[in-house]
Structure 1
Amino acid sequence: MNTFKLFLAGASALALSTSVNATDLEVTHWWTSGGEAAAVAEFAKAFDATGNKWVDGAIAGGGGTARPVMISRITGGDPMAATQFNHGRQAEELVEAGLMLDLTELAEKEGWKDIVNPPSLLDSCTLDGKIYCVPVNIHSPQWLWLSHAAFEKAGVPVPGNWDEYVAAAPKLREAGIQPLALGQQPWQSNLLFGAVQIGVGGLDLWKQINLEKDVAAASGPEMAKVFQAMADARNMADGSNVQDWNQATNMVITGTAGGQIMGDWAQGEFQVANQVAGEDYTCLPGLGVNEYLSTGGDAFYFPKLKDPEKAAAQLELASMMISKEAQVAFNLKKGSLPIRGDINLSAANDCMKKGLEILATGNLLPSGDQVFSADTQTQFNDLMVEFMNDKSITPEDAQERYAAIVEAAD
């Protein structure tokens, strides 16, 4: 800890001078697509500039594949130095077991409560008044990404909202274009559902179910409209035979698919492909209907290590991740919004600017990871992927099963 205090006294949050005791830190995460790799490289470059060494521990396959590996290593006595989780309750049991480093002293010294916006992000890192993670971005899943080339080929205008998109689907099919690109990982189907729920169902319904756990609302007529919209999405996604989300994004980039419902991290893929927002593709937050964004995203936790030099370097890494310089460099590449509002984002593209405007208006919601346990989220995932892949399941049947999950949710 003395080493770390010396560091704080003599360096900025993004220290460019060599650390007193430089050390290697293994950092695990699931950022492996082109845009994600470009973003995480910014963190690695900034940490290496402190004199320490970022040892990359990327795990392919997304969070659903990576998290069990991460958790197994931590609980099995082979912890990494830092690991990605989403904001919310994914690491709750690890914290309760005393396996994660307490960052409260650092957070108080650097005034994290004054700079993290919205405050719910830091709240998600807090348990029993102590802070255990550093938020690094705001990711929202309620975005519809549309290919200009695909709609031009189909001879129809680029849609401005969900209803126009559904209406254009037959023309896309006639032109040999996949209407909706959707990967086969369960979380992608559940993400699509969450976006349709807020886009079609609206804010009040979302709050009733996700915050109040209102089973009557989950079983009611407004929610029935959401499941009918999911049936439309199922028909539009029929024939999308890719696995990973970025493969689906590439279908939009190449014009072989009309659109994709995916989080704002898709922006990183468009940037790597040198596509321009507003010219090559359109982004519609809230499906162009209800412009609310969930304020989930990514945070890093730091498993407790016995080596005091590594423990000091862990704090340097946390400090770097929340610094102004790193927040700008990382989020411009990632396509996500920064967790602090006191930085210069003049280089933001049109889609990021839309997100920043929504953030400024306060039209924000917590993410599913912040309101439901990991077990409940898994049940939603399983239901949605089953529904999207089995047309014998009616919207009414799916809604009944959904309401039962909400009733039993913890």
Structure 2
Amino acid sequence: MKVISRLATAVYLASLIPFAAHAGEVEVLHWWTSGGEKRAADTLKQMVEAKGHTWKDFAVAGGGGEAAMTVLKTRAVSGNPPAAAQIKGPDIQEWGELGLLTDLNEVAKRQKWDELLPSQVADIMKYDGDYVAVPVNVHRVNWLWINPEVFAKAGAKPPTTLDELFTAADKLKAAGFIAIAHGGQPWQDGTVFEDLAFAILGPADFRKAFVDQDEAVLTGDKMVEVFATLKKLHGYIDANAAGRDWNAAAGLVINGKAGMQIMGDWAKSEWTAAGKIAGEDYSCIPFPGTQGSFAYNIDSLAMFKLADADNRKAQEDLAEIVMGKEFQAIFNKNKGSIPVRQDMDMSSFDSCAQASMKDFKEAAGNGGLQPSLAHGMAASSYVQGAVFDVVTNFFNDANADPKKAAQQLAAAIQAVQ
């Protein structure tokens, strides 16, 4: 009987081998660490684990991703990259040139990515014609977040122009509120600068400045006006802004201590996490002066070459899950962004997301859809870093000259070309 029992056990264990052979480990480097973002990342983890794979979380805090990229470079140089990493925009091309990324063409063909994705998005995910990254979502950067209750107490109205923005800020400040909640970090300074540039330059000149790096636009009168307006705006943030994380700034608006925040739609994840309802507890409006335009930031996971076949299968399953309708709906509702798939039913999304998808599709057809510089979509990380240095130094220097800053901006970009 013992022999039969041992034989039965052996047969049973053998039956598990085919399943085990398909189970791999997928290590994902990301910076989705705030409340709403973390829930969104946990959703992906659960769906990967439901496939029988092991999820190895590699989260590096920091809203702009600078810390995560530093860690990734160290891992990649040592020959031990993760299966997937949150990389986006032109940086995907740089990693592709190093020969470290694997192709996702089989998954893309099976799911028909070319049909599901707008061409602007698909092109970013490819290197040398091959899909090497999977897009997770589309963020809109040019949003203004408002606490209506605070605005009502201050007698302020939601602004549609920059003049109206400062009128509202004056009323909020006079009523004892922080007018504009801000975190004094380079990427947050860059986000505010970008929205002002988008409003003052317009989408065409915005592209000339930050995609084409046109010196005439970078040093022109409109760019000087952008810096002058940025200087004015500094007077409406509080003295404790230095070093504050973006989600802490969002919390000031949510808790009624501040009237508004200039931030991309990932800020909505904090409102959602706090149980607030779009259109009731908070308002989202296009940043004044950018109506009809859409500065986009696309989160994506670039896939690195792996030697282990099981881990490669887990990696492909990860990509397939990310592009699936179920994940696209759950993740983007938590993250505050909109689905990257263009065939999604938006009726179950909140009013901010519905407006965002509508504006995204319209902007794609009228020239208003432009890549965000502050969030790594318009230019390389070197150009982005050069801009951040100029902007942050200017923003924190009360005596800084706007005209000189525009010239420094052009010089700094030229220096890293």
Instruction: Name the aligned partner's letter for residue 40 of structure 1.
Output: A
What is the CA distance between 1:286 and its match in structure 2? 3.6
Q: TM-score, normalised by structure 2?
A: 0.89
Partner of 1:195: 195
Range that drifts further, 279-288 or 26-35: 279-288
Change (3 A) 1:52 1:295: same
What is the alpha-carbon distance in structure 2 between the residues aligned to residue 359 and residue 319 of structure 1? 24
8 Å contact from structure 1 (residues 328, 338) kept in 2: yes
8 Å contact from structure 1 (residues 198, 286) kept in 2: no
8 Å contact from structure 1 (residues 295, 365) kept in 2: yes
What's the secondary structure of 2:87's corresponding residue? strand
Partner of 1:279: 280
What is the alpha-carbon distance in structure 2 between the residues aligned to residue 291 and residue 250 of structure 1? 28
Change (3 A) 1:278 1:161: farther
What is the alpha-carbon distance in structure 1 between the residues aligned to residue 94 and residue 280 of structure 2? 46
Instruction: Name the aligned partner's letter for residue 331 of structure 1.
Output: N
Partner of 1:130: 130
Partner of 2:108: 107
Partner of 2:83: 81
What is the alpha-carbon distance in structure 2 between the residues aligned to residue 250 and residue 281 of structure 1? 12
8 Å contact from structure 1 (residues 179, 237) kept in 2: yes
**1:205 counterpart = 2:201:** no
Identity %: 36
Instruction: Name the aligned partner's letter for residue 253 of structure 2.
Output: V
Partner of 1:224: 224
Partner of 2:406: 399
Partner of 1:42: 43
What's the secondary structure of 1:179's corresponding residue? strand
Change (3 A) 1:278 1:288: farther
Instruction: Name the aligned partner's letter for residue 71 of structure 1.
Output: K
8 Å contact from structure 1 (residues 201, 225) kept in 2: no
**1:387 counterpart = 2:394:** yes
What's the secondary structure of 2:121's corresponding residue? helix
**1:70 counterpart = 2:77:** no
Partner of 2:343: 342
* RMSD, aligned CA: 1.8
Partner of 1:12: none
C-alpha deviations, 1:45-76, integer Å up to 9, x for none? 21122121222221112301111101211221
What is the CA distance between 1:330 and its match in structure 2? 0.7
**1:366 counterpart = 2:371:** yes
Q: Which runs of 5+ in 2 are unaligned?
A: 1-18
8 Å contact from structure 2 (residues 21, 310) kept in 1: no
The count of aligned residue pairs is 391
What is the alpha-carbon distance in structure 2 between the residues aligned to residue 169 and residue 296 of structure 1? 27
What is the CA distance between 1:341 and its match in structure 2? 1.2
Partner of 1:313: 314
8 Å contact from structure 1 (residues 147, 253) kept in 2: yes
8 Å contact from structure 1 (residues 82, 302) kept in 2: yes
Partner of 1:186: 186
What is the alpha-carbon distance in structure 1 between the residues aligned to residue 146 and residue 163 of structure 2? 14
What is the CA distance between 1:113 and its match in structure 2? 0.9
Q: TM-score, normalised by structure 1?
A: 0.90
8 Å contact from structure 2 (residues 262, 287) kept in 1: no
What is the CA distance between 1:84 and its match in structure 2? 0.9
What is the alpha-carbon distance in structure 2 between the residues aligned to residue 98 and residue 406 of structure 1? 26
**1:156 counterpart = 2:125:** no
Instruction: Name the aligned partner's letter for residue 353 of structure 1.
Output: Q
What is the alpha-carbon distance in structure 2 between the residues aligned to residue 291 and residue 179 of structure 1? 25
What's the secondary structure of 1:287's corresponding residue? coil
What is the CA distance between 1:240 and its match in structure 2? 4.3
What is the CA distance between 1:288 and its match in structure 2? 5.2
C-alpha deviations, 1:70-100, integer Å up to 9, x for none? 12112212221211112x1224333212211
What's the secondary structure of 2:45's corresponding residue? helix
8 Å contact from structure 1 (residues 205, 222) kept in 2: no
What's the secondary structure of 2:217's corresponding residue? helix
What's the secondary structure of 1:66's corresponding residue? helix
What is the CA distance between 1:337 and its match in structure 2? 1.2
**1:24 counterpart = 2:31:** no
C-alpha deviations, 1:294-348, integer Å up to 9, x for none? 2321110122122111011111111111111111111111111111111222111
8 Å contact from structure 2 (residues 294, 359) kept in 1: yes
What is the alpha-carbon distance in structure 1 between the residues aligned to residue 324 and residue 282 of structure 2? 31
**1:52 counterpart = 2:34:** no
Partner of 2:256: 255
What is the CA distance between 1:38 and its match in structure 2? 1.4
Which structure is larger by alpha-carbon Rg, 1 or 2? Answer: 2
8 Å contact from structure 1 (residues 320, 326) kept in 2: yes
8 Å contact from structure 2 (residues 142, 264) kept in 1: yes
What's the secondary structure of 1:74's corresponding residue? helix
C-alpha deviations, 1:344-363, integer Å up to 9, x for none? 22111111111111122123
Instruction: Name the aligned partner's letter for residue 209 of structure 1.
Output: A
8 Å contact from structure 1 (residues 182, 240) kept in 2: no
Q: Which runs of 5+ in 1 are unaligned?
A: 1-17
8 Å contact from structure 1 (residues 178, 239) kept in 2: no
Instruction: Name the aligned partner's letter for residue 142 of structure 1.
Output: N
**1:121 counterpart = 2:121:** yes
Instruction: Name the aligned partner's letter for residue 223 of structure 1.
Output: M
